[in-house]
Amino acid sequence: MGKRSRKRRIVFWSLISAGIILVLLVAALLVSNLVMTRSAASHIVRTPNEAPHAQAAIVLGAKVSADGTPSDMLVDRLETGIKLYKLGKVDKLLLSGDHGQVDYDEVNAMLKYVLARGVPDQDVFTDHAGFDTYDTMYRARDVFQVKTAIVVTQKFHLARAVYLARRLGLQATGVVADIQSYPNEWRFALREWPARVKAFMQVNITHPLPRFLGPVIPIEGDGRATRG
């Protein structure tokens, strides 16, 4: 009886512990998502025409194919950034994406796209170390000296991107880049829930450095200084 009683107590307290951990995880998920979406909501606009003027549009990277062709999602971000520039809403474009491998390059694909559509080379800055949204916003502030920005990405991603930017000290507004519909959009929206928890911890608890920083290249200068 003694051994059985001990085993039952161990099982009981193990279940209680697991239940407490589960409740804490759910609470973290709900609280961080609620705080982030509510905080960012008043700083998001639906169209480029509604955006205030800012130093730069921060256009966030997305998937490119093996031949360097931007995905539909990335094309919509780039087109939105170009429109902001041509409307005079921003003075510069900051294209930030993943170029961490020789055979995968979001940034030069983005650069090629906007130059082909008439944006002057000197007004386009490239950030090859925007490995995630946190790194992009941190580098926008510390490497490119951005103070005011229009963040360009899809609606599902905007709350996190704008929240991160503003918590890192940028005066940021988000513009929705959903020009078309995308396959499996629900997966992107679902993935945002845990991604927001991570982002919330980054700017409120852990404060990590980005993977790379590097020399200062002010956004007020010539974007061609970022080529290399």
Q: What is the mean pLDDT of the chain?
A: 90
Contact 97, 61 (CB under 8 A): yes
Q: What is the DSSP letter of 207?
A: -
> What's the pLDDT at 218?
97
Strands (E), 90-170: 90-96, 124-127, 148-153
pLDDT at 1 over 60: no
pLDDT, tens only, 91-106: 999 999 987 777 788 9
Report pTM. Answer: 0.87
Give residues with Cβ within 8 angstroms of 46, minimum separation 6: 175, 176
Contact 132, 198 (CB under 8 A): no
Q: Which of 3-12, 55-64, 83-92, 137-146 is predicted least confidently?
A: 3-12
Cα separation, 142 vs 214, whole angstroms:
9
Output the six-digit token pair for 187.
Answer: 């997966």
Contact 76, 154 (CB under 8 A): yes
Domain boundaries, the chain: 39-226
pLDDT at 69 over 70: yes
pLDDT, tens only, 6-64: 666 666 566 676 666 766 666 666 777 888 889 899 999 999 999 999 999 999 999 99
> What's the pLDDT at 4?
62
pLDDT, tens only, 166-211: 999 999 999 999 999 888 888 888 888 889 989 999 999 999 999 9
- What's domain 39-226's architecture? 3-Layer(aba) Sandwich (3.40)
